Structure 1
Amino acid sequence: MAAIYLETPIKADIHKVFDLARDIDLHQQSTGKTNEKAIAGRTSGLIEENETVTWRARHLGVYQTLTTKIISMEKPVQFTDIMLKGAFKMMKHQHIFKKKNDITLMIDIFEFESPLGLIGRLFNRIFLKNYMKNFLLERNKLIKNLAENH
């Protein structure tokens, strides 16, 4: 299994950052390179606990679908989503928010496993982990910009 850990300090209220992180419309804005669209389940607005969203996006030249579900949420400190259907063998994304003075620390713990055993693990190490990290960094950059400037 591969894991990505990111910390993004944001000079904004924890509630604002939390809501931006679970905003389906903002997520679609941040994924222009992959043309990601919410096509089923919650397709706009703020996703809530026990809701699902199915995404359609172009990754590595191929259109793929991914269905995730929010399995836990404690406003405004955390929410976790997991993959129900998609290209990964397993995917879990923990979103954690900590208030420190006038900063909200947004923490991403993204764990995933590719199918195909050894070949999948090699693909993770050589390419996919870095690809997914950059995907998350792009999303976090937009959240930070909107939270700090609006």
Structure 2
Amino acid sequence: MKPVRFTIMKLKMTTIHLTTKIKAPKNIVFDASRNIDTHQLSASSSKEKAIAGVTSGLINLNETVTWRGKHFGFYLTHKSRIPVMNLYDYFVDEMEEGNFKSFKHRHYFEEINGVTIMTDKLQYETPFGIFGKPFDFLFLKKHLTNFILERNKVLKKVSETKSSKTP
């Protein structure tokens, strides 16, 4: 008789990769992307508010922000730090406390002929053990994708408006 072998599946991180073209210089788009007030504007549907750390204006390297917002019918908090920032090219926000097993959002900015190509790469691991993957597949990935798409629509509008007013 052969021995029975059990294999433990390693659950992979989920990745969301989005690209947005914005007719504005990358410094304007970069600053809009790290602006707490702009984020709150883009997340108004979830009533997301900055409640600790940097609560308005621009967040900088090694600073934190704690968000509180309503997702899936519950008020949740999420504390992020900016561990990496290369001004106007790249920054990372990474969860320190919250409901994910891990959460890292990389933001890239490249300007070509007056158009900024903003790239979001969000990687996260769901909580809830074996129930996390089905929850992610059925609900969470779509929710986060739509959340970032809405955020990017607001960033585009804010950046292009500001750019048109800049001499």
Normalising by the smaller structure, the TM-score range is over 0.9
Q: CA deviation at 1:147?
A: 1.1
Considering only CA atoms, is the larger Rg found in Structure 1 or Structure 2? 2
Q: CA deviation at 1:149?
A: 2.1
Q: Which runs of 5+ in 1 are unaligned?
A: none
1:137 alignment partner in structure 2: 149
In structure 2, the gaps of 5 or more residues are: 1-12, 163-167
Q: Which residue in the other structure is 1:14 paired with?
A: 26
Q: Are 1:115 and 2:115 matched, yes or no?
A: no
What's the CA shift for 1:130?
0.6
**CA drift at 1:117:** 2.1
Could you state the TM-score of these two structures normalised by the residue count of structure 2?
Answer: 0.88
* Cα distance between partner residues in 1 of 2:135 and 2:73: 16
- Count, aligned residues: 150
Task: Give the corresponding residue for 2:97.
Answer: 85
Letter in structure 2 aligned against 1:16: I
Specify which structure has the higher proportion of strand.
1
**1:128 corresponds to which letter in structure 2?**
L
Partner amino acid, structure 2, of 1:106: M
SS in 1 for 2:110: strand
Structure 2 residue 87 is the aligned partner of structure 1 residue 75: yes
State, as a whole percentage, how many aligned pairs show the same letter: 47
